[in-house]
Amino acid sequence: MTRRKITLVVLIAAAAVAAGAITAAALINADVSVELPVLMYHHLDDTGDDVVTISGELFEEQMKYLGENGYTTVSFDELVDYVSGDLKELPEKPVAIVFDDGYESNYKIAFPILQKYSCKATICVIGSCIGKDTYKDTGVPMLPYLTWDEAKEMYDSGLVKIGSHTYDMHQYAPLESGTARESVQPLPGESEADFAEAIRADHNKLSALIKEKLGCEVSVFAYPNGKYSPLSEKLIRSLGVRATLTTRVGMNHIRRGDPESLYLLRRYSINETTDLETFQSYLDGKIPKN
Ligand SMILES: [Zn+2]
């Protein structure tokens, strides 16, 4: 390439970066991009009769389907190592499985199925709910959540990692006392500094608990109700979280050398209406119509 041509390429590249279209790292590693569908689950029961619930039977069909169709479930630790360059390759057709909230059904129903098909998953727990089956302020019954012993057993299996869905920023206002924080957003009238401190304190509380109970760091964070902002994202990243999960829908492109590509990941919500045809369309990155 002549010097003039090189200058032109550099200028075009710089313009693209300046325009925010792509990051510098992505530019260097544009050829090393891996498609990653992330599947989002919540609760499991016998019937899957709820928008965020799936039956054990269908969940098992889906896990079986992944193996039979060449997909490999991956953990966020592997993804972090891939973007940092510590892991040279991801398996063929990687897919990430995430459970939000941390219900006990993840242990009782999903875990035996994950073991049967050697599938990896991440459970993003709500720290304040662990081991509970009633709302802490009002005593009203709620779905039972995992205990620490159950989380530890799953973590020790090597198949399940534990992530954050906040310690207590995923409240349900009608059944809490005082001002409830239902997602990672400022309360009415809250200053930016107070909001930042609230996030830091909440995150540190859950991180310390996970460190104490399981001996691991929190590397992945799922936004309660999918609500995030540039500020919340900046704060969460500053606390050492390596991957953040939204409820936006679509395919993700993970790039080696580009840690940014693990933030604000899109996810497909899976429930009892997700038949295998729809399931495959999500694995292909199709956007559902509705
Ligand atoms: Zn949730």
The string over 240-273, giving b where at least 16 C-beta atoms fall within 10 Å of a residue's C-beta and e elsewhere, is ebbbbbbbeeebbebbbbbbebbbebbbbbbbbe
User: Domain range holding 17?
Assistant: 1-31
**Residue 236 shares a structural domain with residue 214:** yes
**Residue 90 shares a structural domain with residue 4:** no
Q: How confident is the model at residue 5 (pLDDT cuts 50, 70, 90)?
A: very low
Check residue 12 and give its pLDDT. Answer: 46
**Residue 207 shares a structural domain with residue 234:** yes
26 Cα–ligand 1 center, Å: 31
| Percentage of residues of the chain with pLDDT beyond 90 | 81
**Residue 19 shares a structural domain with residue 87:** no
3-state secondary structure at position 68: helix
Q: Is 49 part of a structural domain of the chain?
A: yes
**Residue 26 shares a structural domain with residue 87:** no
Q: Which residue has the tokens 């049967």?
A: 116
DSSP string, 226-257: G---HHHHHHHHHTT--EEE-S--S-EEEETT
Q: Is 169 part of a structural domain of the chain?
A: yes
3-state secondary structure at position 164: strand
**Residue 4 shares a structural domain with residue 133:** no
Taking only the tens place, the pLDDT of each residue in 205-257 is: 999 999 999 999 999 999 999 999 999 999 999 999 999 999 999 999 999 99
85 Cα–ligand 1 center, Å: 31
Q: Is 21 part of a structural domain of the chain?
A: yes
Q: How confident is the model at residue 145 (pLDDT cuts 50, 70, 90)?
A: very high
18 Cα–ligand 1 center, Å: 36
CA dihedral of residues 223, 208, 159, 163 (deg, nearest 10):
0
* 243, β-bridge pairs: 220
* 245, β-bridge pairs: 222, 265
165 Cα–ligand 1 center, Å: 7
270 Cα–ligand 1 center, Å: 14
Check residue 23 and give its pLDDT. Answer: 53
pTM metric for this prediction: 0.88
Q: Is 288 part of a structural domain of the chain?
A: no
**Residue 196 shares a structural domain with residue 71:** yes
181 Cα–ligand 1 center, Å: 13
Instruction: Name the E strands within the chain.
Output: 33-36, 38-41, 43-45, 53-55, 72-73, 94-101, 121-125, 160-164, 220-222, 243-245, 252-255, 268-269
Number of domains in the chain: 2
**Residue 51 shares a structural domain with residue 120:** yes
Q: Is 192 part of a structural domain of the chain?
A: yes
Check residue 31 and give its pLDDT. Answer: 57
Longest dimension (CA), the chain: 74
Of residues 284 and 24, more confidence is placed in 284
100 Cα–ligand 1 center, Å: 5
Backbone angles phi, psi at 31, to 5 degrees: -85, -5
141 Cα–ligand 1 center, Å: 17
29 Cα–ligand 1 center, Å: 34
pLDDT at 9 over 50: no
The CATH number of residue 104's host domain is 3.20.20.370
**Residue 13 shares a structural domain with residue 135:** no
Taking only the tens place, the pLDDT of each residue in 40-63 is: 999 999 999 889 999 999 999 999
276 Cα–ligand 1 center, Å: 24
**Residue 137 shares a structural domain with residue 255:** yes
